[in-house]
Homo-oligomer: A and B are copies of this chain.
Amino acid sequence: MKKPLILVTNDDGITAPGLRALVKFMSTIGEVVVVAPDSPQSGMGHAITIDNTLYSKKVKLSDEKDAPIEYSCSGTPADCVKLGLQEILDRRPDIVVSGINHGSNSSINVIYSGTMSAAIEAGIEGIPAIGFSLCDYSWNANFSGVGEIAKKIVSEALKNGMPKGTVLNVNIPKTDGAKPKGVKVCRQAKANWKEKFDKRSSPAGKEYYWLTGEFELLDKGEDTDVHALNNGFVSIVPTQFDLTAHHAIQNINNWNLNE
């Protein structure tokens, strides 16, 4: 049987340990091609490069015999997927996986996530796609406990296909090498970031800000991704790119707009 073709990307950049771990895991179940940003792209949301040129080059980051083909790209995660599908791969991949992100993309973080934007871009093209994130922001995070579950989720996705119009947002609790307790299919927890701007002065006296903030959970539900993660489980949120709030159409139709 032909091995599945797996396109791997991320938003922390092609040298990030999280991507290297994902490449290693995916190489055991399919033929891997990597197209990933040449520099970190965290917080890029679903940005694409339309007013600037895009560069891409073949790179060699592993000396192993069956090392995957890898390309670095000057663009965003969404650009990497577009470029991979259109210019680099000679056939349609069976699945696109993004990550493993260094840090959580649960709850409202999905909106700001470059990791998930890559998965969503593939989903828009009708290709099964999964974003993986580990709830550990450290560059030296321990990904060793993640392999088994990541392989299982990807294998099930390849076997079952993806519900139409959805991709998966998978978050993994910080395990420091241990196996997570199990997997829960969840909804996105309601939350926001309580911003704090750290105002400073440059050496030349010009004022500037750093954006910081605190995560504020606004949801006590036990069916949310945050609840699963806080209890040691991997969360899977099926995530869609039809943003229509269908339930609100009737409400807006009662506004006085057409007289």
Contact = CB atoms under 8 A, between A and B. Distances in A.
Interface of A: 40, 42-51, 53-56, 75, 78-79, 82-83, 85-87, 108, 110-112, 117, 120, 124-126, 152-153, 156-157, 160, 163, 165-166, 168-169, 182-183, 185-188, 190, 192, 195-197, 199, 206-211, 236-249, 251-258
A237 B246 CA distance: 9
Contacts of A238: 244-245, 248-249, 251-252
Contacts of A117: 45
A83 to B, nearest CB: 7
Total copies of this chain within the assembly: 2
Contact of A245 (B49, B165, B210, B244): B165
A79 B124 contact: no
Contact of A190 (B79, B163, B242): B242
A43 B50 CA distance: 7
Given A50-B211, A75-B211, 16 more contacts: A44-B47, A45-B45, A45-B46, A45-B117, A46-B46, A55-B208, A55-B209, A78-B112, A83-B209, A86-B195, A87-B197, A124-B192, A183-B257, A187-B244, A187-B246, A236-B252
